[in-house]
Structure 1
Amino acid sequence: MTEPRVGPEAPGNMRTLVLSNDLDQTREIISSAYSPYQLSVLGDPKEFSAWYAEGSFPGVTVSGLQYGAETLVAPQPLDSYLLVCKLVRGQVKVISPGRDERVVGTGETYVLDPYRQFQVHWAPGARMTTLRLSRETVEQAAADTLGVEGPLRARFGLGGPVSPGAARSWAGISNAVHREILGEGIARTSPLIAAHLTQMTAALLMESYRLVTDGVDAQRPGVVGHAAVRRAMALAEERPDEPLTLADLARAGRVSPRALQEAFRRHVDTTPLGYLREIRLGRAHADLLAGRGSGVTVAEVAYRWGFGNLGRFAAVYRERFGVAPSRTLRG
């Protein structure tokens, strides 16, 4: 294996599987570790380097991954497992075609569920750690959380934790898992402790990140608002091109408009129409990217996604993406 120009040492009990400048070799090994994927170097191919390492106890696998050049990764859906990804250094852009996208910076996290189609655009030198749970574990935890018979298909948005408290709780369990794997933790040799820690990790995942599961009525006390939010979100994501109103979203959530507003503020720190606007902004952004060189205008895209005031559209777009919509369209 060729020595890369840059590459961290695998910490603790993690085992390095890739340390290479060879694109084909990297693609083959990491495809085996994750899922079959396309790997493209967007910068100078001579600058490419890759490092990948992993460690585990029964139920959980922790990995480290770094690319030394601007790189685009386009895997197939993960299918049999879920990943919680944390940027340790640098920046990536995560794109889920037709759904949403997000720029993730150092210290931030996002979830890739087993069913999502996605791409990850890596800045040179970006490095992340991932925590992997099996699909079966995640689907049972989702059913347990919502008080229904499992397993239950569990989908997640690309956003980070739902609140500062949730972020702290997730960081705590993640750090505990890393200590067990990187050190000589009990979970590496005790199936009972490993199972307990795996179940706790999956349960905290459900509470820490936005769970989107269609067609399920939560039975346990205290989460009716969360179920209503999920139903309203599903409508907003499926039909953002339609003139949806607060009343439409409330009917989808099976609650009153006021109750839906309160549930959104409690669970996702926004309003129902604010969430719909974010979905539409994401779709407009995707259309502007796709429209480069085609003659499409910012106004056409804005009107298509319900933004009748072009000045307001430009302002909220810049706030969300950091550039003017015209800049995105020009490339």
Structure 2
Amino acid sequence: MLDRALLTDGQGRPIRQSGPTSSRDWDEVQAFCRKVYMPYRVRPGAPRLLPAATMRMAQIGRITLTRFSYGVPIHLDRFDPEAGNILVLNTLRGALRHQQDGTRTATTRAGDSFVVDCSRTDYWLDGDRDHLQLNLTIPHDAMAEIAMRWLGFVPDDRLWTRRLAFGGNGSRWQALLAYVVHALEASGRVRGAAPMARHLEELVCMDLLQIWAEGAGICLRDGARMAAPRHVREAEEIMTSEALDPPSMAEIAARIGVSVRTLSEGFRRFRGMTPREFLRARRLDGLRAALQGAGPGDSVTSVAADWGYVNLGALAQVYRDRFGETPARTLAAGRVGR
């Protein structure tokens, strides 16, 4: 089923895409790659070799799905960490050779996959002339947010710095990719924060987290959370219990006996986010609970004001990004359910 991914819809009709779907021009191909992956360096296998690229894409919430090949042998390196992206390279045809650990490499062929967090570790790969990929570009922040929502913590760099080959024909990951592709073909491109997009995004990220953690020897059930030092866990408890009227970061740091810098470094290392980002997520969680339990006379404006939100336009955007619906919809659903 993946052989035809992003080529035809559920009725077998060709899927249209704005912009070129193939190219023989290096600048055009690189512009596409910067858009869907990140800036990096590409070197063809021979001088003056022109690409014969396949360039197709679809959006699944915050995840970019691409059907891509250069059509020539290539070496890729210098992936930009500032882009903040995780790559999942799923080989449909041909082969890729990936940087793994130390001097070891891993080769993926049809049915195999490879994941690397380019925001946390360096990476290079070689592709043969016949390579064809169905790739996922996932923002690190999206993975961290979903981990926090479902697991209650963000794994530390033992996970994010691990480059991992996985999957294979008949694997659960291949089955999930087939489901995602089928959903795209059946309903057209999934965009934005629509319910189906959020559903697919969370399925992909949670399954990838489980597979990645298993490969890294990390127990997501309890091991990663306890790996965080005491001051990080104590700060989390303060920000969670006092999210309605939170103290400043300086006050939190003073209460647990560390500097603001130490607190920030602990969150970045063990939670993959800043303390302010953690607090922002807990406040949105609290607002959502308040909307779900609001009384007959309450409105989005009044509940949001209780939580200190005054710019409802900005709130609606970040709320939709996190929960896949508007605050008004949460309020209405809460009333229907009572």
Among 148, 155, 159, the alignment partner of 2:160 is 155
Q: 41-50 or 115-124, which moves further after superposition?
A: 41-50
Aligned residue identity for 1:130: N
- Tell me how far apart the structure 2 counterparts of residues 126 and 217 of structure 1 sit (CA, whole Å): 34
C-alpha RMSD of the superposition:
3.8
Deviates more, 1:128-137 or 1:97-106: 97-106
Give 1:116's aligned residue.
Answer: 121
Q: CA deviation at 1:83?
A: 2.1
Structure 1 residue 48 displacement after superposition: 3.1
Provide the residue aligned with 1:107 in structure 2: 111
Partner of 1:50: 53
Aligned counterparts, 1:137-176, within 5 A: 137-143=142-148, 147-150=151-154, 154-155=159-160, 157-161=162-166, 168-176=171-179
Counterpart CA distance in 2 for 1:45 and 1:193 is 44
1:64 aligned to 2:50? no
- The one of 95, 98, 101 equivalent to 2:99 is 95
The one-letter amino acid paired with 1:95 is Q
Find the counterpart in structure 2 of residue 203 from structure 1. 206
The gaps in structure 2 that reach 5 residues or longer are 10-14, 228-338
For structure 1, the 5+ residue unaligned runs are 1-7, 230-331
Gap change, CA 1:70 and 1:180, over 3 Å in 2:
same
User: What letter is aligned with 1:184?
Assistant: S
Structure 1 or 2, whichever has the larger Rg, is 2
Matching residue of 1:247: none
- What is the percent sequence identity of the aligned residues? 14
In structure 2, relative to structure 1, the CA distance for the partners of 1:188 and 1:32 (3 Å cut) is closer
Cα distance, 1:67–1:204 mapped onto 2, change above 3 Å: same
Higher relative contact order (CA 8 A, sep 6+): 2
In structure 2, what is the equivalent of residue 84 of structure 1? 88
CA positional deviation for 1:109: 0.4
TM-score under structure 2 normalisation? Answer: 0.53
Residues 151 and 144 (structure 1), Cα distance of their counterparts in 2 relative to 1, 3 Å cut: farther
Cα 1:26/1:189, change in 2 over 3 Å: closer
Alignment partners' CA distance in 1, 2:226 and 2:95? 34
The change in CA–CA distance for 1:103 and 1:14 in structure 2 (over 3 A counts) is farther
Distance 1:227 1:64, change over 3 A: same
Closer, same or farther: CA 38–97 of 1 in aligned 2, 3 Å = farther
Q: What is the alpha-carbon distance in structure 1 between the residues aligned to residue 28 and residue 167 of structure 2?
A: 38
1:278-297, Cα deviation, whole Å (9 max, x unpaired): xxxxxxxxxxxxxxxxxxxx
Deviation at 1:190, TM superposition (A): 7.2
Determine the structure 2 residue equivalent to 1:130. 135
For residues 210 and 45 of structure 1, do their structure 2 counterparts lie closer, same or farther at Cα, with a shift above 3 Å needed? farther
Aligned length: 214
Distance 1:141 1:52, change over 3 A: same
